[in-house]
């Protein structure tokens, strides 16, 4: 293998798409003495697709790195600001988005010319030599050979690719006229919903992508049509959007999108770039963008680092987090379109807002800056009074009206003594009640001494505990009028008898352990205590413990009761097939696994005051193979709704220790969204919702009814008050305690501006 230097003299690039060509041009420009060769198996004028969209951020990087390419691109771009969403014949336009696009053929011509001018050798219509041979003969080998990368597959044991197929079929087509906006349109047919994604890429042409679920594609007969028939059928379905004009193809074929993720991007002097390394769904226009940004980063790292191995390590470290973030957004967008049928009955403006914010990268506040008129029209349709952010609209659950949509999520504090909440709980919950949230939830309050998680857990199994809770609820109702306080009742199940969280989460107590019980005798993790399988008589006892605790909770003054059926605690343990291996009436099918949690719910509801709401927290997925699925979660929610639950609090995971959660911003919200639309029950979304902008976005899009936040309220007990101040909101959706009103405006900060010059001199 040639010597690794920070200026590798001989570079081989496999693949002549935009990423490979731009990498070749940059690497040659940075060091004209390099020998750079590109192998492209197609002819110069052969390519798939039609138009390419690039962001201002990407263009800025191109302008800085290679002004010649930038100027050539500028001459051919078409630019526009608007997005049109057509929903059931009504078009809504949102402006201020800023797009730039050009034809893919034109982009390749520009890059071909730039490479040739710089002295890059391009071998068209030529398969690259075997990658191992290239690695032996060249100092650096860049594999930019696309989503079906043979290079990646030849070293799959090193790169460890994970390729995920998805549920929609799509086809790239073109129309010989220019849309005047980025256009999204749905067609509701007898076979199901189809969607059109269209955008201009030249003054007289547009890209048109037609997409639909696999089952719709088959039902409509597309699987039996030849390419011409498919193209004509699509043009007929979307005749109004296309102004009656035909569509054309470029060897186009129906395909399914594949998400590519690699554990590693480099191996020796071989590195992956663009779609070979990663893919992101076309609905956020990111494929070419990511490939070009990869090329920019790779060239920069080769220049900055002392040798090729260091450069490739730096390149991977720099790009992986960026790509992972983009892929999360792309997956959210992809799944939104896969599940588009779920949203088609939304009011038209809300549907448009939901579509625009589907990836979570465009938010309510961001959209308001881009197009205040459109955003205000969505708010009016939603029912927001003038000047009222969505999060400060009221919401009713049974006899309880919440003045805003913010919930302080249950958070275990492990600070009780013998189950009795003390001064800490008074201050902790009282501070958050004063902080403006509509509903403040207790931690999981245990229904028995045996049902505690740790020795520090609070309970409601004695009169003394109930009296202590009454002290807290009285404070909230007296000092924070209009704020509701809810209690979450639960039993630890197999996750009980453990240390306080900060002493060793889920670790058994060194001494003083109590026996634990569960649906099945399965320890939570290696080294955990093995629970005893509950007998029928014990199930009856536990149901009565929940009932007694609920009766005490009502007398203690709580406004809402939540039954904890999540996170692997006792009732959750019955719901998951991974933790319930029973062969009696309480195990087996989902219907049987639901039986005991529903018995407990019914028993609690019978003693809980009729005018006060009851909610249920569930884990909508176990994040583990063979566990609870999103489909199961819908049926679980449906069952509780049928028994009278007023809302479902949708969390995920913590059921089995081997879980593999897919963390990310508001990552659990899609589960709440699905339950809300399929079960038609109010939901509470929870999980990495950290900003008031997120809350506004989720509420206005109709993905949730309430948002529960935990860590933000630990960081700032007055999070909701501050959210109101930062949005200049002073209406009835938030209440500033009289002693705090002087703080209802954001404090002044140090001066950040500088005096303007007195004189301006010019040449």
User: d(Cα 220, Cα 193) in Å, to the nearest integer?
Assistant: 10
Q: Identify the sign of the CA torsion 522, 524, 526, 532.
A: negative
Give the closest residue to 554 by CA, choosing from 601, 596, 611.
Answer: 611
Give the closest residue to 615 by CA, choosing from 595, 643, 653, 573.
Answer: 643
Helices (H), 644-710: 669-679, 692-701
Active site residue 569: yes
Q: Classify each residue of 716-725 as buried b or exposed e, where b means 16 or more C-beta atoms within 10 Å of its C-beta.
A: ebbbbbbbbb
Crossing angle of helices 18-30 and 287-304, in 10° steps, is 20
User: d(Cα 694, Cα 96) in Å, to the nearest integer?
Assistant: 20
* Contact (CB, 8 A) for 516 and 631: no
* Strands (DSSP E) found in 452-543: 484-490, 517-518, 532-533
Q: Classify each residue of 40-53 as buried b or exposed e, where b means 16 or more C-beta atoms within 10 Å of its C-beta.
A: beeeeeebebbbbb
* Contact (CB, 8 A) for 726 and 746: yes
Q: Catalytic residue among 22, 138, 569, 586, which?
A: 569
User: d(Cα 463, Cα 466) in Å, to the nearest integer?
Assistant: 5
CA 661 remoteness from chain centre? 12
Give the closest residue to 649 by CA, choosing from 397, 323, 373.
Answer: 397
Give the closest residue to 414 by CA, choosing from 441, 451, 453, 449.
Answer: 453
Q: Which residues fall within 8 angstroms of residue 218, CB to CB, at 6 or more apart? A: none
Angle, CA 478 vertex, CA 472 and CA 482 arms, to 5°: 100
Tabulate helix, strand, coil % of the chain (nearest 5): 40, 20, 40
User: d(Cα 87, Cα 193) in Å, to the nearest integer?
Assistant: 12
Q: Which residues fall within 8 angstroms of residue 500, CB to CB, at 6 or more apart? A: 414, 454, 455, 456
Starting from the edge strand earliest in sequence, which strands make up the sheet with 266-267, in order? 121-124, 35-40, 10-14, 140-143, 270-272, 266-267
DSSP string across 347-381: -HHHHHHHHHTTTSSS-HHHHHHH-HHHHHHHHHH
Q: Identify the sign of the CA torsion 9, 12, 17, 19.
A: negative
Structure letter (DSSP) for residue 306: S
Q: Which residues fall within 8 angstroms of residue 272, CB to CB, at 6 or more apart? A: 143, 144, 149, 151, 152, 159, 262, 265, 266
User: d(Cα 177, Cα 183) in Å, to the nearest integer?
Assistant: 13
Return the active site residues.
Answer: 569
């Amino acid at each position: 293998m040639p010597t690794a230097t920070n200026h590798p003299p001989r570079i081989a690039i496999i693949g002549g798409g935009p990423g490979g060509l731009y990498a070749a041009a940059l690497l040659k420009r940075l060091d004209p003495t390099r020998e750079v060769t590109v192998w492209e198996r197609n002819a110069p004028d052969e390519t798939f697709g039609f138009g390419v969209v690039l962001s201002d951020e990407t263009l800025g990087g191109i302008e800085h790195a290679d002004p010649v390419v930038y100027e050539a691109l500028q001459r051919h771009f078409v630019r526009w600001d608007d997005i049109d969403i057509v929903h059931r014949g009504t078009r809504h336009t949102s402006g201020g988005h800023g797009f730039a696009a050009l034809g893919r053929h034109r982009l390749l011509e520009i890059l071909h010319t730039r490479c040739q001018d710089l002295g890059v050798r391009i071998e068209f219509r030529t398969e690259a030599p075997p990658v191992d041979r290239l690695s032996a003969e060249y100092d650096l080998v860049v594999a930019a050979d696309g989503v079906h990368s043979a290079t990646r597959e030849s070293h799959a044991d090193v790169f460890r690719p994970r390729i995920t197929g998805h549920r929609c079929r799509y086809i790239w087509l073109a129309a010989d006229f220019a849309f005047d906006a980025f256009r999204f349109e749905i067609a509701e047919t007898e076979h199901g919903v189809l969607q059109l994604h269209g955008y201009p890429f030249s003054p007289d042409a547009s890209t048109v992508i037609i997409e639909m679920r696999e089952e719709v594609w088959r039902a409509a007969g597309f699987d039996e049509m030849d390419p011409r028939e498919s193209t004509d059928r699509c043009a007929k379905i979307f005749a109004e959007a296309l102004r009656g004009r035909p569509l054309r193809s470029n060897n186009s074929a129906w395909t399914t999108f594949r998400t590519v993720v690699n554990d590693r991007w480099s191996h020796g002097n071989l590195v992956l770039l663009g779609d070979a390394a990663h893919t992101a769904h076309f609905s956020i226009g990111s494929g070419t963008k990511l490939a070009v940004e990869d090329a920019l980063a790779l060239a920069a790292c080769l220049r900055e680092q002392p040798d090729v191995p260091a450069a490739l390590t730096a390149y991977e470290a720099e790009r992986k987090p960026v790509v992972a973030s983009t892929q999360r957004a792309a997956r959210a967008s992809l799944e939104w379109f896969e599940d588009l049928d779920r949203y088609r009955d939304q009011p038209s403006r809300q549907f448009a807002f939901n579509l625009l914010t589907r990836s979570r990268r465009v938010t309510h506040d961001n959209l308001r800056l881009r197009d205040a008129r459109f955003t205000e029209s969505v708010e009016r349709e939603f029912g927001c009074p003038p000047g009222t952010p969505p999060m400060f609209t009221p919401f009713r659950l049974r006899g309880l009206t919440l003045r805003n949509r913010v919930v302080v999520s249950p958070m275990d504090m492990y600070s009780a003594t013998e189950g009795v909440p003390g001064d800490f709980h008074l201050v902790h919950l009282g501070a958050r009640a004063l902080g403006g949230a509509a509903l403040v939830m207790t931690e999981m309050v245990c229904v028995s001494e045996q049902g505690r998680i740790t020795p520090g857990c609070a309970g409601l199994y004695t009169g003394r505990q109930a009296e202590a809770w009454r002290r807290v609820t009285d404070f909230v109702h007296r000092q924070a009028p209009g704020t509701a306080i809810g209690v979450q009742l639960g039993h630890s199940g197999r996750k009980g008898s453990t240390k306080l969280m900060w002493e060793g989460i889920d670790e058994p107590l060194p001494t003083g352990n109590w026996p634990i019980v569960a649906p099945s005798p399965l320890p939570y993790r290696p080294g955990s205590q093995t629970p005893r399988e509950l007998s029928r008589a014990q199930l009856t006892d536990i149901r009565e413990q929940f009932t007694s605790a609920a009766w005490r909770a009502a007398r203690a003054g709580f406004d809402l009761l939540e039954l904890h059926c999540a996170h692997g605690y006792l009732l959750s343990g019955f719901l998951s097939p991974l933790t319930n291996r029973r062969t009696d009436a309480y195990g087996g099918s989902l219907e049987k696994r639901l039986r005991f949690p529903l018995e407990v719910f019914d028993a609690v509801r019978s003693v809980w005051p009729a005018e006060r709401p009851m909610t249920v927290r569930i884990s909508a997925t176990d994040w583990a193979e063979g566990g609870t699925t999103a489909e199961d979660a819908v049926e679980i929610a449906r069952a509780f709704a049928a028994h009278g639950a007023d809302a479902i609090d949708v969390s995920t995971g913590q059921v089995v220790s081997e879980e593999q959660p897919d963390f990310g911003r508001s990552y659990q919200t899609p589960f709440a969204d699905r339950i809300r639309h399929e079960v038609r029950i109010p939901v509470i979304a929870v999980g990495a919702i950290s900003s008031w902008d997120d809350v506004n976005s989720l509420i206005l899009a109709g993905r949730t009814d309430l948002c529960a936040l935990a860590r933000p309220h630990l960081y700032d007990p007055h999070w909701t008050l501050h959210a109101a101040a930062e949005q200049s909101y002073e209406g009835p959706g938030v209440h500033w305690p009289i002693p705090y009103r002087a703080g209802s405006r954001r404090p002044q900060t140090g001066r950040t501006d500088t005096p303007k010059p007195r004189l301006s001199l010019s040449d």
